[in-house]
Structure 1
Amino acid sequence: MTPEDFIAKWRGNTLTERAGSQAYFLDLCAMLGVPPPNDPDNYCFERGAARTGAGRGWADVWKRGCFAWENKAPGGNLADALRQLMTYALALDNPPLLVTCDRETIQIHTHFTGTPSETHTIALPDIGQPANLQKLRWLFTDPERFRPRRTTQDVTAEAAERFAAIAQALAARGADPQQVAHFLIQCLFCLFAEDAGLLPARLFERIVEKAPPRLKDLASAWASCLPPCVRAASSCWKTSPGSTAACSRSCSPRRCNPPTRKPCCRRRAWTGPTSSPPSLARSLSAGLIRPSAAS
């Protein structure tokens, strides 16, 4: 099968996930000139695996030492497919590559120990490009080709250097060292909370981008970026040490109830830093994002 034949057959194909996934993969093997799944212990369809914290499931395709592959119907959520693969990874001997596919797009996620993950995306119309064909063959024959050059230690060191440079720049402008440390911890927590799904996607980034030059406008800029449920939770914070923090049921973005200014519960005392969310936005504008506008 030529790349042109493959694209023509699968462009706009409306088969369901179950009906189309194996036929698609077999055609892909034929196009690449690699053997199809043929060994239940090393290279097969529907490899059974214990899912971390979720019982048992099946990886759609698995090749020992190479990849695990999860299919979705066209337009399916590939992020969900990746999360599903992650729950299988340990039971599948931690394959170095995790592949998600909805027959319109193939995403190859690197999963090498000690390295940051990288994603290689191949769209169906571009599958015949020589570089993309080579990447797809490497999936089956040479997964080490995908190993990132940087390690997680390199990434951590680079991030630490950037945070140190920010701290030095703020200190050189006369900022109190404790306030600088507090501000950077807040930034780090926001970045973590985004990655962990505790905050809406790119919320912190949008706040930084929208930060106006004058401090008096920062609180409203912060509020405009927040969904109603988070605005409701933010209004409940007390800023004095030892005061009670609201632990509102409406705080979760996944369960967004109509906002209310009345705390729904007072189950734990707030013993952390005394700054409310708007103070973080003020710090961003005054200390980092717009240094020329700070007074």
Structure 2
Amino acid sequence: MPLSPNEIRSRAASFAREWAGQGYEKGQTQLFYREFFEVFGVPIKRVATFEEPVKHADTSKRGFIDLFWKGKLLVEQKSMGQSLIKAKTQALDYFPSLKDEDLPRYVLLSDFQTFELYDLEAADGEEGELKFPLEEFAKHAHKFGFITGVEKKTFKDQDPVNIDAAELVGALHDALEDSGYTGHDLERFLVRIVFCLFADDTGIFARGIFEDLIERRTNPDGSDLGGWIAQLFQTLDTEKGPTRPKTLDEDLDAFPYVNGALFKETLRLPSFNTEMRDRLLDACRFDWSEISPAIFGSLFQSVMNRDERRQMGAHYTNETNILKTIQPLFLDGLWEEFERLKSRSMRDTRRKTELEKFRERLGSLRFLDPACGCGNFLIIAYRELRILEIEIVRELIDYQRDSFGQFNAPLDVSDLSRVNVDQFYGIEIGEFAGRIAETAMWMMDHIMNNRLSLEFGPYYSRIPLRKAPHIVVGNALEMDWSDILPPAECSYLFGNPPFRGHQYRTEDQQADMWRVWGRKGQVNRLD
């Protein structure tokens, strides 16, 4: 499990005491950053390299980046007392020579006794620069949450990172399928693997332990990989403590209990070879912290056979179009109500009560998508509701400040959110897409819990999973929707049902049309 915030702060304080008054660039940089990353419980070898060769943009001479984590962090280190102005110029000078996909979000400059951290993707209005002395490391340790996978995400429609991730899963899918591993077991296996890949990079697991297990503990020819994965799935479905075997391998015991029935079913597992293991390792080495669960779900589904995908009527609705649907349906009205409450004077004795009632109401809403596919509409609706809730919380916590603007006691982040995934319901005819939707909802939940933690206090996670979205696998045209969500409890219904031209319908789909619309008139021409 990831380290607790208190443990990280304690380690940061010890690190600061140990390195006070020290700092020689050539002889101590690597030891300094090995111990720096250990503050967060992340062995540096899992994520970064020292002395990465690169050409200078102005002279074309070869230089060396002191520490480089591709796509995440570039460190330029100087000896104690040296100017960091030159270090910043030197760090940025490396950028033109880096591949686009390797460009880091963060730049860290240090002379051992001071730090300067720059977030190059900070949104407008957010602090993108942090400077502090070594002795204040414990105070600012939470700003390095990206090391453990806890960072604020900004998702972009059509982001290539989602396509890259789907292609990696597609390559693994093809290798498994070519070996004769197919059907239900393959689909559930891939969903579990994607969850593990995401968990490995976002703080659900201690960072990198899944990749480390596959790379370090399994044979290069893949002969024992299936056995290790079987044990891992069983471990993820077993609570910590006496229910786990006393003889359980310590690398497996480091994994948390996930719950949520995600790992409960016993699957027939594949017999791996070298190529299949290599495809899994390729996926492990990718940074899964950057993907959008909403968009990736649909791309993930595209690893299915193309003919089957056309037959099922699957299609991709981008985020922009989803927002065009849900904003006028309910989001715009909720935001308008919040702005009215927010604008009331702090002296208004009803303001706090009304804000609390509004937050409780968000937690009571129920949403249904009767043709949810991989859950795009549900996932984005959930994310947007959590974003609104965070703004409500921001207003409410001001009432807990004293006359000096400080909190009398640490905030209990776990008590701040009322919105949860079990408010969302979906019907999906394909089991694979339905399981993707369920898992992607949990992934988005974790991302939003990370955001809540970054905004208001200590790290907060809903692991083990206690609640789940209600995704029912079946034909929505043959089901009584009220059995899934009674109409009186349904707040909003939305979605984008799959479509097929009338000339491409199967006999079953034609029967669905007749059952719903009858046989009179031109209904047969409807998509």
Higher relative contact order (Cα pairs below 8 Å, separated by 6+ residues): 2
TM-score, normalization: structure 2? 0.25
Structure with higher strand content: 1
What is the TM-score when the length of structure 1 is the normalising length? 0.43
